[in-house]
Chain A
Amino acid sequence: MGRITLDKVRKAFGDVEVIPPLDLRIEDGEFVVFVGPSGCGKSTLLRLIAGLEDVSGGEIRIDGTDATHLSPAKRGLAMVFQSYALYPHMTVRKNIAFPLKMAGMDKAEIDRRVDGAAKVLNLSSYIDRRPGQLSGGQRQRVAIGRAIVREPSAFLFDEPLSNLDAALRVGMRLEISELHKRLATTMIYVTHDQVEAMTMADKIVVLRAGHIEQVGSPLELYRTPRNTFVAGFIGSPKMNLIEGAEAEKHGAHTIGVRPEHFQISAEGGTWTGTIGVSEHLGSDTFFHVTVPGFAEPLTIRAGGEVDLHYGDTIHLTPDASQIHRFDAKGLRLS
């Protein structure tokens, strides 16, 4: 079981309130991602749940029992850190066995569990090495191994992939998702990378300056962002936000159209612009188009290879059903 409830949890460092009172429910077995720009309080929130920081107010409940003032060890949670935080003086085996040794488990059971975890994570051939002799990806696996042997009620991940190179990151992303499917244990995952959030989460919590901006499934956030911040943060490349006369035509202060929701044509369309930089990826082509009267260039996604280049004129028609409308405060208009 791993149901975690935050009730009016707040955190202040001195006079600075980094997390104003906040409510959140995390169901058992859910994969929840906290996402937001750096400094939004997502790591602090995770550390409050872990017990590594004391709350300044409110209540944290794990499986119905009050855990607000329990020490990290007593909460039954396991954490994987950004820097892996392996014990450099211990072998892989001892690293993975450490939490079991602390729990006072007998040696035969420890060996059985460590060997099991090492096998699942493909660590068996490195089991007697020290962390210093492993690559980044292997170290991350050891950190995950150390977390899973305890069979915790929930896993906490603090930006676990940001020290890995791009190719390895994609691989580890899949491995963690796979692990979640197999263990069906609650996972809370902190990242600033919205692609990780979109691909891994059952539920995304978007944070800004300690506030929860929106909670929902990846596609809910993609389809109906509650405000311009979520609209701009979720989706890659980010949504085009247009203010002024064009927005007023739709009865809004700001309208948003995602790069993939445009028809492009050489003959005619709603807006006409000039292509600036274009990025040809093979599977997709992204054009950055300057439209007279718009404050910012638009980003347009065209499927496959499109033979348009710098300086060409392009006609754009936004998909009418995919135009998001926001008021002057940035909130979504239904």
Chain B
Amino acid sequence: MARAVTTQRKIVFTALAWGIGLMIFFPILWTILTSFKTEATAIADPPVFFNFDWTLENYRVVQERSDYMRYLWNSVALALGSTFLGILIAVPAAWSMAFVPARRTKDVLLWMLSTKMLPAVGVLYPIRLILIQLGLLDSKIALIFILMLINLPIIIWMLYTYFREIPGEILEAARMDGATLKDEILYVLTPMAIPGIASTVLLNIILAWNEAFWTLTLTTVNAAPLTAFIASYSSPEGLFYAKLSAASTMAIAPILIMGWFSQKQLVRGLTFGAVK
């Protein structure tokens, strides 16, 4: 029997959903608003919402003081590079786990995920020392590699879930039809898994874009992405809230716009296989 939902209940739930949504969105909105205020209005008590003199001054100062485009380019390179490399490694890995599972496949999957539970700071010094030895501190290549490794368990898990939904008989048919392993992955598996791979790529770009621990600790100037750009406004010269907000807005804008346009794909990707 379908559950009867009264109009009153609908109104209450809708209001509640909007309330929670706004609560989650508020810090972002507040940051964006603050970025258009003067430093004095930014710390005004009681806080001012919309009724202030809007100014672009902060953006001008931030752009003048630091080279935004260089940070942006580094962020793009790190996010796309680590995602591309990750997918390249994860597709064959997820293929083997989904279609030719061994006795310990489940354990391997869980072990991979368990590495995400390790506090990153625990391996900070070993990794930092290795990079210094190799002369790769503050290099994009090293960071792309590290970000890829950090997100690899999640990419493999997501792809594994998608691949599991693909009937094995179709791959067997390809094998009977004379496809080599490469043909099978290239012509049959990948095209069928495109929606899944697309969501995995999107999510991984967001994760890599937002990653702050490694990008802050392993870069200084050359490889520093937008996370370092924001951080550079937070402490050294006291707290300039308006400028910090302008920097933050500039850093999150690209990913926010990408997320907005791909939200349908993302939601589908994250709930894929949950309801069947």
Contacts and interface: CB of A to CB of B under 8 A. Distances in A.
A150 B177 CA distance: 8
Q: Which of A50, A78, A98 has the most CB of B within 10 A?
A: A98
A83 interface: yes
A77 B173 CA distance: 11
Given A83-B169, A87-B188, A89-B191, A71 B177 contact: no
A89 B192 CA distance: 6
Nearest to A94: B187
Chain A, interface SS category: loop
Interface string A216-247: 00000000000000000000000000000000
Contacts of B187: 98
A81 B170 CA distance: 9
Nearest to A77: B176
B173 A73 contact: no
A188 B212 CA distance: 61
Given A83-B167, A88-B192, A89-B191, A73 B172 contact: no
B176 A102 contact: no
Nearest to A50: B176
Interface string B169-192: 110111111111001000110011
Interface residues of B, number: 17
Nearest to B168: A85
A195 B179 CA distance: 35
Contacts of A103: 178
A306 interface: no
Contact of B177 (A52, A73, A88, A89): A73
A45 B178 CA distance: 20
A81 B178 contact: no
A99 interface: yes
Contact of A87 (B170, B172, B176): B170
A276 interface: no
Contacts of A98: 174, 177, 179, 187
Contact of B178 (A52, A73, A88, A89): A73
Contacts of B180: 73
B119 to A, nearest CB: 40
B191 A52 contact: no
Nearest to B172: A52
Nearest to A89: B191
A119 B184 CA distance: 28
A52 B179 CA distance: 13
Interface in B142-188: 167, 169-170, 172-180, 183, 187-188
Interface of B: 167, 169-170, 172-180, 183, 187-188, 191-192
Given A73-B175, A89-B192, 13 more contacts: A52-B172, A73-B176, A73-B180, A77-B176, A81-B169, A82-B169, A85-B167, A85-B169, A85-B172, A86-B173, A87-B188, A98-B174, A102-B178
